[in-house]
Amino acid sequence: MLRMLLILCSCYLLLSCAPAAPEQASQLTEIYQRNTLRVGILHGPTSYYIGVDGPTGFEYELARALADRLGVELSLAPSFDLEELQEKLATGQVDFIAGGLTLTPSRMARFRAAPAYRWINEVLVYRQGSKRPQQLSDLTDLDQPVIVMAHSSHAETLANLQDETLTIPFSEATELDADEILQKVVEGSITYTLTDSHQLAVNRRFFPQLRIAFTVNENLPVGWLLRKNQDDSLYSVLIEYFGHVYQNGDLVTLEDRYFGHIEQFDYVDTVKFIQAIDQVLPKYKNWFIEYAAELDWRLLAALSYQESHWDPKARSPTGVRGLMMLTLPTAKQMGVESRLDPEESIDGGSRYLQLLLRRIPERIPMPDRLWFALASYNIGWGHVEDARRLTQRDGADPDKWLEVKQRLPLLRKRSVYQHTRFGFARGDEAAMYVENIRRYYDTLVAVDERQQLELRLEQQRQKLIEQLVEPLTSETSQP
């Protein structure tokens, strides 16, 4: 005992005389020192992708706004593989994962979760025309297993559902992402899959055959993942950040920008639009491209479809006519001699939309600026201004489309419009008009990009065939 006491005293004296070990820098300090916020992000239409104007996506914009708030650069580590992202987080290669990930028990056990910012449902999906399961027990005797993305929350859900009375055959696809699995369901090579409600909403714009069999789980939280340790520096920043974007409305505005217009799904309308892209659009596509100027030609085409369903002889009871449904005064203003001439109509409609865009206050950023211009195309800038004044009166932001579109329907009410500058307007129709164009545009972009990819693949195939055939031709032509 005496010897043990002496040893402990000696150790205490040695430790007290030794220089203090330097404290490890906090995670937030390291971020500032390297001047970079490293974010692991999941590739896909609900998180991050390369759009017409560069990187975009709901998760990307949230992460970029955080980096701007901290005053550091944003460095992305994108991946299609969930396990790869989680490994990068575990080994400290990224500061957190932003991928619209459900906060499942296994993820919460392995990592730390930032505050939840969205809630989703998990739904079982099948192709219209296939046998529809009514409940989980209908999945126990399948010819083909339920296919889900590897290492996903859906795989975890199905694994947790297994017990003595319920055994659901399922398989994890390691080579397919969530969107590719849904496409396989449409093609018929996969019968059933489990997916998130917002993932389904995005994909139904161009795969309307996808149907919900039933909801497996409701109101599951979605959040970012951090390393699990005693360092609270970045975690505290994220608590403050999400509180800030909740309070000032930025989170709701961002969610509306990416998902607000796809909440309502019309199967028949979507199918008709996709058919029209193949059968009708080719007649007018070159003119949309030629006269789009600074606009995306696909947006101009989406506007035209909303107006006339690409019918050059379309006519409304109010007297607007043609592909772009121009009024007679607007046609004269734009120098359109015949509203029934498809080329003239597209040219005039494009220039009129660009004129409206120039009228929108420059302080309003895109894409809200574009949504205001589209609403003005429908009911006129004066009525949109009335709705903006109502928005400001209510203490909301008149420069945000999300806020103004909620006031547009008030322009139908006599108690409201009698006190506005321009009076009555079908504001509710204008709000729906813009949301329809946004849906058509998203669908057209997806279909157009797929067609371009198929064209490039076909060109590569033809080039490869020519390279293989050329040596054979040379050999046979020699004497």
Please give the full DSSP string across 401-429, using - where no structure is assigned. Answer: HHHHHHHGGGGG-HHHHTTSSS----HHH
The residues with which 348 forms a beta bridge, in sequence order, are: none
pLDDT of residue 303: 97
Cβ neighbours for 368, distance < 8 A, ≥ 6 positions apart: 399, 400, 401
**Burial annotation 159-182 (CB, 10 A radius, 16+ → b, else e):** eeeeeeeeebebebbeebbbbebb
The DSSP 8-state label assigned to residue 111 in this structure reads S
pLDDT of residue 13: 39
Predicted confidence pLDDT, tens digits, the chain (479 residues): 334 333 334 433 333 444 433 445 799 999 999 999 999 999 888 899 887 677 889 999 999 999 999 999 999 999 988 899 999 999 999 999 998 899 999 999 999 999 999 999 999 999 999 999 999 888 888 888 999 999 899 999 999 988 767 888 999 998 888 889 999 999 999 999 999 998 998 888 889 999 999 999 999 999 999 999 888 999 999 999 999 999 988 998 888 888 877 777 788 888 999 999 999 999 999 999 999 999 999 999 999 999 999 999 999 887 899 999 999 999 999 999 999 999 999 999 999 999 999 999 999 999 999 999 999 999 999 999 999 999 999 999 999 999 999 999 999 999 999 999 999 999 999 999 999 999 999 999 988 888 887 888 888 888 888 777 766 566 555 55
Domain boundaries, the chain: 118-220, 267-435
- Residue 59: active-site member: no
pLDDT of residue 477: 58
Distances (CA, A) of 71 to 32, 36, 60, 110, 370: 9, 9, 16, 29, 29
CB of 135 within 8 A of CB of 180? no
CB of 434 within 8 A of CB of 409? no
Domain 118-220, CATH: 3.40.190.10
Domains 118-220 and 267-435 share a fold: no
**CATH pick for 267-435 out of 3.30.70.20, 1.10.530.10, 1.10.3720.10, 2.30.30.230:** 1.10.530.10
Catalytic annotation, pick one of 122, 307, 344, 403: 307
* pTM for the predicted model, two decimal places: 0.76
